[in-house]
Amino acid sequence: MRKPSLESRLLLAAMAAWAGLFFQSACLAQPEAAYSVAYPVIDGLTDINSLDVAIDGRSIHALLVGKSAEGGRSRVVLVHSDNGGMSWTPPAFLNRPEDPQAIVRRGNDARIAVRGNDIVAAWQTEGDLPGTGPMTVAVSRDGGKTWARGGYPAAGDNMRNQAYLSLVADPRGAFHLAWLDDREEAGNTQGLRYASSKDGGLHWSPEATLDPAVCTCCWSRLAVLPDGAVSVLYRDAEPRDMKLALRAGLAEDWHHAGPVGAFDWRFHGCPHCGGGLAGSGTPNGSTTLHSVVWTGKEDSAGLFYLKSGDYGKNWSSPQRVGDGHSRDGDIAALDRESLAIAFTRNTPDGASVQLMQSTDNGAHWTEPRPLSAETARAQHPRILATPFGLRVFWTETLPGGQKTWAIAAPITHTAKQRDS
């Protein structure tokens, strides 16, 4: 591995000292508006253009794709942190020199899922035609010490072009993967496909088509609910509203719960915007679904929060998140009552990452608070509920044009704190 330059080592040392102040316990008294941001340096990687994160126990895993500091093709890199993001392991490089070029961008990110010693990563690679190609799956069954190529889940796609992946692991150790492809060659839509693996990504179940006609370039979001059900949130083709599909167990059939926010948005094009999905348990053992979705419908455009207590059959009235300039939302549930939404808000000078929290199961929310400057050019925040409190991740374009990744550790509001 290339030895870091003196400048890089000094920068790392300064950032580590600063991070010690930045990543204080969420319980410490701090000014509520004081949000600090850290920009971790990953040796050998520059200009990061893909980001995904996953939590397993106390370990936060981040999958990044960026240009190699030594030039050449982009590298797919995995790092993890066991101290809430204060420090990160040396990078593991997942793609090999002989592998096809990774095709990624924010929205069409490389994806990661972790359960114990099993780690699965998946990303799109360049095929015969520029800008298109099949997914690649990389697996580790020893906590990331060694890596191998996993099975190819999309055997039925003769076009060999899969994009907009979503990946998650459940508590039993099964991995769930969803993606878009156009094997029907419809042209103006794609199909939403799904497969699962019980052996850490080495082999995959026969693929299933969850919906044959969906929006062509909006990411989906897989989530495992507290009761073990698997759900996927995605954007439909007509109308361009978000929809939900659920499955109670690996042996059960999928069923559709209908639109998540029935905006009836008719739009011939792709808004390049997916949504966020989380579940929280209830005292009687049922599950409440929480979602954040974006619509471009005239006179009601923006980002909205909705919840459902009957697995998506009925949803609450859409509650606006931020203002009409908000989009790219993600949501996390810390416990039965505590929720948080991270999103971007476009400003005249850039795009800022904002945060809202609720301690009463989504009935009321704090006012949006900035995690980055209004002049920042931030993209696609992801939010995790961790044992250390909330962690929010995003990518940001610096003034010189270089793209980096950022982490914020905001004060975490919980129902327990509210009631104390």
Query: What tens digit of pLDDT does each residue of 18-48 get?
Result: 333 343 333 322 333 345 789 999 988 889 9
Average pLDDT rounded to a whole number, residues 198-209: 97
- What pLDDT score does 415 carry? 76
Answer yes or no: are the C-beta atoms of 276 and 331 closer than 8 Å. yes
Query: What tens digit of pLDDT does each residue of 263-300 get?
Result: 999 998 889 999 999 999 988 888 999 999 999 999 89
Structure tokens at 261: 């926010």
pLDDT band (50, 70, 90) for residue 73: confident
Of 194, 179, 312, the closest CA to residue 252 belongs to 194
- What pLDDT score does 420 carry? 62
Three-class secondary structure of residue 337 per DSSP: coil
pTM value is 0.90
Across the strands, what pairs with 59? 56
Answer yes or no: are the C-beta atoms of 106 and 65 closer than 8 Å. no
> Measured in Å, how far apart are the chain's first and last C-alpha atoms?
50
Angle at 298 between CA 292 and CA 300, to 5 degrees: 40
Answer yes or no: are the C-beta atoms of 81 and 411 closer than 8 Å. no
What count of residues does the chain have? Answer: 420
Q: Is pLDDT at 241 greater than 70 in this prediction?
A: yes
pLDDT band (50, 70, 90) for residue 130: confident
According to DSSP, the β-strands at 377-386 and 255-259 are unpaired
From start to end of 57-169, where are the E strands? Answer: 59-68, 75-81, 92-93, 111-115, 118-124, 135-140, 148-149, 163-169
Q: Please report which helix (H) or strand (E) contains residue 302, including its range.
A: strand 302-308
Answer yes or no: are the C-beta atoms of 120 and 195 closer than 8 Å. no
Query: What tens digit of pLDDT does each residue of 92-116 get?
Result: 999 988 899 999 999 999 999 999 9
**How far, in Å, CA of 172 to CA of 133, rounded?**
31
According to DSSP, the β-strands at 350-358 and 369-370 are antiparallel
